Every structure is written in structure tokens, then in C-alpha cells.
Structure 1
Amino acid sequence: MNSMRFKMSSRINTILIIGATAGIGEAFARRFHSMGKKVISTGRNQDKLKEMAKELPGLETRQFDISDLATLPTNVDGTLKDFPSLDTVLITAGTQLSYNLFDPSLVTSEEINAEITMNLTAPILLIRLFSPHLLQLARNGTKTTLFMTSSSLAYVPLSFYPTYAAAKAGVRAIMKILRQQLGFNPNGKNMRVVEIVPPYTDTGLDKAHREATIAMQGAPDKAFPSMPLGEFVTKFFDSLEQPGPDEEIKKETGVGSGEIGVNTWRNSFGKMYEQMDIAT
């Protein structure tokens, strides 16, 4: 085990993955489990959770729907009661619509609201509920981490996904704001806030509209190619093991176009924050 991997692995002992029954979340749950971490997987699909728990010995599961905002405090409280030493939270649940704002018949107001709730409102509320716990552990000397998945579309929005790109831009902003607030807290030196920035990855997220978006781009050979999920996960962990300046873990861990977006932002708008001496 190389020294970079040791730093990352030694930081994470018990990790809660919110949105772990499919796609990137499930892949992360499997990878962290294979590393010997205590993994708690959550999702709406109880059958999938049972299947994963049977396949992965020691995996803990919790069923809850983050779009049901009223139940979030109860679910978070219950999780923290059962796992008081939880040191890492990774929020990656999401949903995606594709529609044209000039054609109201393609999407309802309720669908737009539901997408914003799942992709932005619920994650912000989860940050609010979990951050005090992570900060308290950090205050007592435990290294803690809050991960949240945004998207390369947060940096380079595309017309196919109006609400999704806007919500992920909001995630990008809230992570930087949380990092700023953490920087003002003298007890926050052991806590890290990390934005995960995937490229267009081959998951089931866009299953309902993939063919339509390919058609809008002209033909399959002209469409933006997706990165295989396994390739993304491997590159994510490789990147995570390479710390930023004076950091055990990077502030953003981007892959492919996600990494390009992060580096471009850091070398442009990020310089403005550096001049203001504000942590982002």
C-alpha cells in the first residue's frame, strides 16, 4: 500500500453513502467495502439494499428517500444514534430530466420541483443535519470528511439538462460556501469538505432520455461519449489519493471533463478568493 493510499484510507473508517443502490453510489459502496471500511448504504430500493447486504458481508443498510424532506431529521438522527463514530458522509443521490424550456408540454412544474428537491434542496438539508456531528468529531480529534457529488455540468452546463445542470451548479456553490464557513471555525482543522466532479458517466441516470439526447446531437458518432462506470471509479480513487497543496484530500476530486472544469475554475475565479484570503 503506497503512502498516498494510506493517508486516504486512514482518514475514512465508517462511511455513510447516500444514494448507494445504483450507479456511482453503488460502485463507491462496493469499492469502500472492498477496502475494509465500515459502509452504511442508503437508498429507496429496499430489495436492492437487501441484495447488496447479502452479497457484501458486514455492509449496513438504511432505507430512506431523501426527497421526502420531512423524514430527513428522523433518518439522520437514527443513523447517528446507531453509528456515533461515523466519520465520513458521501451524498450522491440524484435524478435527471431532459426537456426544452420553450415547450412546457414536455415537463410539469411538479417534475421540475421534484428534480430540484432531489438534487439540491435535500443535499443542502443533509449537509445542515450531518455537519454538526462531523465538526464535533473533528473538534475531538477525529478526521472527518463530507463528500458530495456535483457534475461536470456544474461547470459547463448543456442545453439537454436545464434543471439538473442548474442544481449541480448549486451543489458546487454550497460546497465552496461550506468550506468557507469551516475555514472560519477554529475547531474545523480535522474536517474536510470534498466535491466529487464526474464527467458524463455511463450509469442509469439518463436511461429515460439517452436516445433522445443522442438524436439531438445528430448521431451516435457525434454525441458526447460517456465514460464507463468502472473507469470513472478507478480514476476517482487514483485522483483522491493525490492530495492537494497541504491537504490530505483535495478540495475537489474531478475526473475527465470534471477535472478540466475544476482546474479552470481554480485558475480563474479561484484566484479572486485567494486575493481575498477566503478558503474555498
Structure 2
Amino acid sequence: MAAISTIKTILIIGGTSGIGESFARRFHQLGKKVVVTGRREARLATLKKELPGLETYTMDNADISSLPGHVKGLTTKYPEIDTVWVNGGIQYSLAFKDEASIATDVTKINEEIAINVTAPAVLARLFIPFLIASGSEANFLITSSGLAFVPMGSFPVYCPTKSFIHSFLVGLRQQLAGSNVNVLEMAPPYVATDLDAAHKEAAAGGPPPMPLQEYTDKTFAILESKPAKELKEVAVGFAAMGADAWRGSIGSILENFHLGG
């Protein structure tokens, strides 16, 4: 059974714009029950109006201490959730040689690590027992990036935060081997979104951005082609090149030691 067929109720954490919104719309179009979270109440209200039946929930991933309460609220209100996708993230272009921006950049570094690293790890710790307790096939997803495999100097903190996500999910997949929970890494290439719009100059010289619709279509093609249990990195374009290279090198070492992941 294709991965998409096992998804009946999906929670997208960070789905008010860009990749999260695009996938929320596609899952809704397919008749799935979709729950979307975000910080912007006005944007959530707009999506709910445009997509009848869509459920919304206001939360801020940056507020780490509030996450246990939010997860309890979400799982109590929507006990039928079978798929959790942690999608929210931020990206800053930082110039470490620039003395004038030190104070601002220190704040940005803390924000990137909190939202891109700490929040996803905490959410995984909170949601995984809930998904296991369901007893049915379930899925846990986090969005990483092609930059998890091929770092770019313009984003010296963002890249390692995404490398963390990749390594974290490999380890989580090892822990959950044989369980009812599939662990998928959603690895986009450089995609034309609001995130991209703020950093066009910093990304100059790299691959051109993939249109959001094209990325959505190609990713859904993967989800429709294989069972979730057979998927690890769901990557397209430039990100697929990095993921394939990793699987052919470090991934092969894990296989040799029968570690899986």
C-alpha cells in the first residue's frame, strides 16, 4: 500500500505558508482530514475559510516550554491523528566576519537552533508515544533540506540544523524499527517560497529554486509510489543527489554494522 494511502488524518505543524500550506492543500484535496498549526491566527482563519473541513490550531514552535501542553491539547482534540509532520523552520544568512552585527546574529543563532533543532526533537519525544499507542500504522515526518547533505557558507547555522534533523531521524528510525511508526525525512531542494524570497542574494551561485508546485507534485509522486515503510529520505532534485550520496557512503556503513536507519 502506497504511503499516501495510509494517511487518513495528518497534523502539519507549520502549515500556514510555503511547503506546509502547499501540502495541506493537496492532502485536503485528496479528502484527508488535515489539521494545520501556525503562529498567525489571521492566516489560519483564511485557510480554514478557503478549505472547508480544515482544522486549525494556534501555536508557536519557538515557545519550547509550551509544547507539551500543545501536544496534549492536539492529541486530546484529535485522537485520530495518524501522521505528524513537523514542518516549521527559519533560515538566516549570517556573516561571521561582520563585527557590527554580532548582537543581532547571536539572537538569530539561538532562534535558528530553537526552532530548527530543539522544537522538532521535543515534538518527536512528545508525539512518538502517542503514535505508538494507536496500534495502527502511523507516520512521523520532519522537513530537513538538501543543505542537510551539502552545506552552504551563506547559511552557516541553518545547514547544520538541517544536518541534525537528518541524523536525528536516522537514529529515531533505528529506535522505532519493528514498530508501527514510519519515520520519514522530507528533504526539499531550494524551493521558491517566502523563505527563499528573503535570501535570493545569499543563495546566488547555487541551483535555481524549484517552483513550489513542481516540488509538491514530485514529492507526492514518491509518496504514491512506495509504502511508507520503504521510505526514508523523501527527496527530490538537488536534495535527492545529497541523500543518495549519503546513502551510498555513510548509509552503507550503517548497513555493514546492521544498525539500520
Q: Which residues in structure 2 correspond to 1:60-71 (within 5 Å)?
A: 60-71=55-66
Task: Work out the percentage of aligned pairs sharing the same amino acid.
Answer: 42
Q: Deviations over 1:176-196 (max 9, x none)?
A: 01001112xx5x1x2100001
Letter in structure 1 aligned against 2:166:
R
Q: Deviations over 1:195-233 (max 9, x none)?
A: 0110000001133332x325xx4xxxx553100000000
Q: Which residues in structure 2 correspond to 1:110-125 (within 5 Å)?
A: 110-125=107-122
What is the TM-score normalised by the length of structure 2? 0.95
Work out whether 1:130 is the aligned partner of 2:127: yes
Residue 141 of structure 2 is matched in structure 1 by 147
Letter in structure 1 aligned against 2:39:
R
Q: Which residues in structure 2 correspond to 1:168-183 (within 5 Å)?
A: 168-183=162-177
Q: Deviations over 1:214-265 (max 9, x none)?
A: 5xx4xxxx55310000000000011222327xx6441111010111111111
Residue 56 of structure 1 is matched in structure 2 by 51
8 Å CA contact retained: 1:194, 1:253:
yes
Candidates 225, 230, 237, aligned match of 2:208? 225
Distance 1:113 1:173 in 2: 20
Distance 1:206 1:118 in 2: 17
8 Å CA contact retained: 2:146, 2:187:
yes
Letter in structure 2 aligned against 1:194:
L
Structure 1: runs of 5 or more not aligned:
1-5
Q: Deviations over 1:50-88 (max 9, x none)?
A: 000011010000000000011101100000000112100
Instruction: Describe the SS at the equivalent of 1:242.
Output: coil
Q: Which residues in structure 2 correspond to 1:169-248 (within 5 Å)?
A: 169-183=163-177, 188=179, 190-210=180-200, 212-213=201-202, 217=204, 222=205, 224-243=207-226, 248=229
CA RMSD, 1 decimal? 1.5
* Runs of 4+ displaced beyond 4 Å: none
Q: Which residues in structure 2 correspond to 1:10-29 (within 5 Å)?
A: 10-29=5-24
Candidates 144, 147, 158, aligned match of 1:164? 158
Distance 2:108 2:229 in 1: 40
Residue 95 of structure 2 is matched in structure 1 by 100
Q: 1:203 to 1:146 in 2, by over 3 A?
A: same
Work out whether 1:276 is the aligned partner of 2:236: no
Aligned pair count reads: 259
Instruction: Describe the SS at the equivalent of 1:273.
Output: helix
8 Å CA contact retained: 1:7, 1:248:
no
Instruction: Describe the SS at the equivalent of 1:90.
Output: strand
Work out whether 1:256 is the aligned partner of 2:251: no
Q: Which residues in structure 2 correspond to 1:42-53 (within 5 Å)?
A: 42-53=37-48
8 Å CA contact retained: 2:131, 2:181:
yes
